[in-house]
Structure 1
């Protein structure tokens, strides 16, 4: 579905249901105001125009110019629906709470279905959760309301900008590119949340810059917290903060515009995800985080091992909620660190049916997800993963990271020196590159950090000799795990793409 026509598609879907004489439509959504607006627009497309009545347990049935007395009780309100013979739309808000507790309400709904099935009168139920007694499944249609699209979010942004005190200055500093990034960051929020996110992000600003995108993304953190198992990661390094790994960076740069309007119009296929494996400390997790900052979208962390520790309830249900949340706040990057901890061959054998069902659910979701949720998975021991995960179609590419080469070590040293305010040109990087031969990225960082502490303790500036001494106190993984690294490299030779050139 084209994002620009999503609202029209919703109206078309609902119109088809009405013309098909569907008696009860259950809309799964918590956006009551939005649904009321949609139904008002929908009623305007019919002649004669149906009247829209909205019910809630405190106000009863009411329309723009009419209120039906004694209709606060759900049974009385449903009786009024059945008695009314003219074409009307009825939207019931909050009735799902009564359906949970009163089994007689299901019987009443069945009577409503029988009364309306030959009329052009439709009962709409809106609720954030699905509460449908088994005997009613055949008598109603369930419709999941899509989240607001680009055009709806742009309309809200324009309204918020025009109502802000420094609206003229804000409008002048809003470039088309930044506007598109703001709209993209707000995708996955309800209209109320979109307006709140924009108002909150604009508060105290007289001009706009790229930092406003992060402020909008933070609003999504409230949704993510409710999942219980997902975590919104705000520390998202840029590609410039990663030394080397040019093959992986080039792969990502070629997909820079996949989320742009131009990319959508040209039908550019969206990437599904990548699996990054290799030597510990060589930047697997760092790369996974960089995908989110590159596209300017939220980064969600899914801890697969936590699914089974008993703190989040049933593993299958917890995973389902997590994946639904990831799609709700899409576009997003789903970072799964050490994916083999949750869906390895051994864990399926040890855990029996539960692990197998979780694995099957995850594979199905990977294949069928509709929203753009880019999976950035890392694995330390990739051989533990079932072959179904590794086959083409699950991930776009499998990258292998190994110990950095001399040029990459030089780049990593420069990055960490700059972080500490040290000018790399004042240091003999070529000599330090040789000293750190066999070091991974994490060990190089530790050497620089240790040198900084030593220099600070002695009250002087950092020297390259400090780094040499700090590096000499580190026994790198290339020595302690020499055989294991060799085994990894042999496995990856014909099975994965090197992340480095």
Structure 2
């Protein structure tokens, strides 16, 4: 299970006595629970700070110090009591890292406590580490649930529904596996919520739940990127001709959807559909997603370009990252010739071509 591995990784970081730990996560309660377990096993005092509640001790029955809601005051308090050691969890601390005084205060604490028993963990959904703190900060990332854990989440929610309604939930094993694959890339809390929605929607888990779940997942992952989620796919039977493409997809379907591809068989990298307007390229792209039974994302290369330097490449990287989190899925790159036209001076077209080719060669997710 991910939490077991996460706990081992966290304990290893704590044993190295890094003075600062940056934890970028939206699962605050899960992160706090991991630190609570690690602190208990190490016999360390554990403190929690937030701008609302101030400083409180989690491993002892003590009233919170609500006078320490300001970051400067709590850092001064920690620095003054450093002889006692301990593990301090500073929640949603990322906005204060833009203050030079706060950054300097953290750096001085880290320099004094390097190798000591005092550790500060900065926890938040977005935790950029300032340059001044990089050499004294360790990063800790919570693992996302794997396929086995996601199956367990679905089964737990199905069992909870059964207890509530005094009947067994109707679900086939193949549908549970498909739902678990579609939940890959989500946090445990998000995966549990989407699984619960699929179950309570109609009291069953069927193939009809897959499109709605895929769309809900996309809404969670979408960060305003240039990708669009295509609700309508197609069947290969709707496509006339293209017999070689159909045979190629059929042979690779099991490899694409398998959790671990058979030795010697690589996951297909992609297909280039070339033809005049109206030849059926768009329908064939939709049919690829329909044949694999996975979500379809559309990326129009014409929307990538931005007048500011570096923004075009960033748009592509964000789109590819979202596609990776949506995996397994089909990424339909439309009008690719508009984005890869040659540049006379080696402009953004060449850079995004390099980014795209590198991603296709190195990606590990089934896209």
TM-score, scaled to structure 1: 0.65
Structure 2 residue runs of 5 or longer lacking an equivalent are none
Task: Give the secondary-structure state (helix, strand or coil) at the position aligned to 1:30.
Answer: coil
Counterpart in 2 of 1:371? Answer: 365
Q: Distance in 1 between matches of 2:226 and 2:124?
A: 24
Matched, 1:354 2:348: yes
Aligned pair in 2 of structure 1 residues 13, 271: CA closer, same or farther (>3 Å)? farther
Q: Distance in 1 between matches of 2:286 and 2:266?
A: 22
TM-superposed CA distance for 1:329, in Å, is 2.6
For 1:177-188, what aligned pairs fall within 5 Å after superposition? 177-188=174-185
Aligned pair in 2 of structure 1 residues 249, 151: CA closer, same or farther (>3 Å)? same
| Kept after mapping to 1: 8 A contact 2:222/2:322 | no
Q: Distance in 1 between matches of 2:251 and 2:117?
A: 52
The counterpart of 1:323, out of the listed 310, 317, 320, is: 320
Number of aligned positions between the proteins = 361
For 1:89-488, what aligned pairs fall within 5 Å after superposition? 89-100=87-98, 102-164=99-161, 165-166=164-165, 168-170=167-169, 173-258=170-255, 263=260, 269-308=266-305, 314-345=311-342, 348-349=343-344, 352-372=346-366, 374=367
Aligned pair in 2 of structure 1 residues 87, 284: CA closer, same or farther (>3 Å)? farther
Counterpart in 2 of 1:30? Answer: 26
Q: Distance in 2 between matches of 1:218 and 1:338?
A: 23
Q: Distance in 2 between matches of 1:267 and 1:80?
A: 59
Aligned pair in 2 of structure 1 residues 366, 262: CA closer, same or farther (>3 Å)? closer
| Kept after mapping to 2: 8 A contact 1:24/1:141 | yes
| Kept after mapping to 1: 8 A contact 2:218/2:326 | no
Q: Which moved more, 1:102-111 or 1:161-170?
A: 161-170
Q: Distance in 1 between matches of 2:45 and 2:292?
A: 45
TM-superposed CA distance for 1:217, in Å, is 0.8
| Kept after mapping to 1: 8 A contact 2:182/2:326 | no
Per-residue CA shift, 1:139-171, capped at 9, x if unaligned?
Answer: 21234444332233233323322332446331x
Per-residue CA shift, 1:303-347, capped at 9, x if unaligned?
Answer: 111112669x932232232222222333332210121211222xx
> Greater Rg, structure 1 or structure 2?
1
TM-score, scaled to structure 2: 0.86
